[in-house]
Structure 1
Amino acid sequence: MPKLELVTAEVCPFAQRNHMTLLEKNLEFELREVDLDNKPNWFEPISPYSKVPVLCHGNIRVYESAIINEYLEESFPERRLLPDDPGKRANARIWIDFDNTKFIPVFYKLLLAQEASLQKILVAEMTERLVFLDQDGFSSASEGPYWFGQKLSLVDLSLYPHFERFPVLTEYRGMNIPRSCRRLRAWLDVMRERSSAVVTAHEPGFHIQAYTQYADGTASGTTAKDMRI
């Protein structure tokens, strides 16, 4: 069987999604670290967007973290991370899309915003996203502790990495997860204890340092360029 190789960067939350999924599926794989500030010549040909992660599986190259997770789910179904029920699978994809298109962009826009007036607007927007996720997502999805009850899913693995990095918003923008978001807070406590999270995690100080240039407006990487208002 062709080997699995994840091209990654330890600072990248999107790559962490895939690293956690590989661990949860108990697959054999190799990690290939890329310095995003000094990208090697071999990287551009396999990553058209010049971003990590990239999954290499024999002659197959897959990029974009949500698509990589779908590929892993379809290629290695022995440990399923999406429900069998079509309606629940659709629900999973809806909330993964929410994470990608509604939550994550506000995370970065708030971090990149330099004007106090814009930060205030984005703090309010982030609060709305968190309350919606807690009340319309977790509170209606299951009894927990995970999105689909007792079983971990790709929704959990997609959401977790940016919540691991939430202390960055607390440090630089004074943003906290509202106390009213009880299900969300309980889920985060459980996720922190997953072995896949423990293996891939960094302490808050690591993330705070890694996002310094986002917070002061000098970040020039691909994600910063994509997310800057």
Structure 2
Amino acid sequence: MAAVSKRSVMTLYSGQTCPLSHRIRFVLAEKGITADIVPVSGDNKPEELLDLNPYGTVPTLVDRDLALYGTKIIAEYLDERFPHPPLMPVDPVSRAKARLVLYRIEKDWYGPLDRLIEGGETDAEGARKALIESLTASNELFANMPYFLSEDLSIMDCAVAPLLWRLPHYGIELPEQAQAVLDYAERIFALDSFQRSLTDAERVMRP
């Protein structure tokens, strides 16, 4: 993935199937920020990554002398460093509400996804059920606006879309009662910026 409309000396250490890394690649693509993408997989971590980030985790972003880790920290930094198009609201109250929504996305949706990725088969079945039930119960949140709780694409979409992209890969099929979620997903997946955010390994996660 390489966006082309804004120059940058940034480097992103990115997992090839990591949903958190995918979130940052989506932000980069949506904002048209050029960054060198360094693929990181499993235990095969570049030596310099451990020098930049004591946890050795991805995503890790390097912007000149600044090294950042933590998905939300990186996303908000990019939004402030490259303010157009804005992905976070301008006023403090709306920003706080957006952060609260992101917190719930992490807890209610990424929590079960993490269990699917890292847990055993017994735990995975419970995680699938929890994720299906939670997304289905949230169907109305996807129904009223073109983007997630917004008229414009936001930081919340950058968090939700990578998760929805991975559902078939982890054996999750949403029911008819979640039709608005499915319709939303197809709209986001069709965006040029989302398509450019995908790695080759992520492209094969969906039929």
Deviation at 1:87, TM superposition (A): 3.4
1:130 alignment counterpart: 135
Give the equivalent residue in structure 1 for 2:155.
154
The residue number in structure 2 matching 1:83 is: 89
Name the structure 2 match of 1:221.
none
Q: Structure 1, residues 187-211: CA drift from partner, whole Å, max 9, x if none?
A: 1010111112111235777338xxx
Give 1:120 deviation, angstroms: 4.7
Alignment of 1:170-181 (within 5 A): 170=171, 175-181=172-178
* Separation of aligned partners in 2, 1:59 and 1:160: 31
Q: Secondary structure at the match of 1:199?
A: helix
**Match status 1:96 vs 2:109:** no
The 3 A distance-change label for structure 1 pair 149 and 99 is closer
For 1:207, the aligned partner's letter is M
SS at match of 1:33: strand
> Highest Rg: 1 or 2?
1
AA aligned opposite 2:165 = E
1:188 counterpart letter in structure 2? A
8 Å contact 1:7–1:33 — kept in the other structure? yes
Aligned to 1:8: 14
1:176-195 per-residue CA deviation (whole Å, 9 max, x = no partner) reads 12221122111101011111
Q: Deviations over 1:116-146 (max 9, x none)?
A: xx555433322332123323x335xxx3210
Counterpart CA distance in 2 for 1:92 and 1:3 is 29
Whether 2:169 is the aligned partner of 1:165: answer: no
Letter in 2 for 1:168: H
Q: Give the aligned residue type for 1:165.
A: R
Deviates more, 1:33-42 or 1:3-12: 33-42
TM-score (norm 2): 0.84
1:146–1:187 Cα contact (<8 Å) kept: yes
Same amino acid, percent of matched pairs: 24
* Aligned residues of 2:113 and 2:131 also touching (Cα < 8 A): yes
Find the aligned partners of 2:16 and 2:126 in 1 and give their Cα distance: 31
Residue 113 of structure 2 corresponds to residue 113 of structure 1: no
Partner of 2:188: 191
Tell me the distance in 2 between the aligned counterparts of 1:186 and 1:119: 26
Q: Offset at 1:38?
A: 1.5
Alignment check: 8 A CA contact 2:15 2:39 kept: yes
1:131 alignment partner, SS class: helix
CA distance in 2, matches of 1:2, 1:168: 33
Contact in 2 for aligned 1:169/1:176 (Cα 8 Å): no
- Structure 2 residue identity aligned to 1:40: P
State the one-letter code of the partner of 1:191.
I
Question: Match of 1:103, SS?
Answer: helix
Which has the larger share of strand?
2
TM-score, normalised via structure 1 length: 0.76
Which segment is superposed worse, 144-153 or 67-76?
144-153
Q: 24-33 vs 185-194, which deviates more?
A: 24-33
CA root-mean-square deviation: 2.4
Alignment of 1:22-61 (within 5 A): 22-61=28-67
Answer yes or no: is the 8 Å Cα contact 2:79–2:88 preserved in 1: yes
Provide the residue aligned with 1:200 in structure 2.
197
* CA distance in structure 1 between the partners assigned to 2:90 and 2:20 by the alignment: 25
Asked if 2 retains the 8 angstrom alpha-carbon contact of 1:9 and 1:15, the reply is: yes
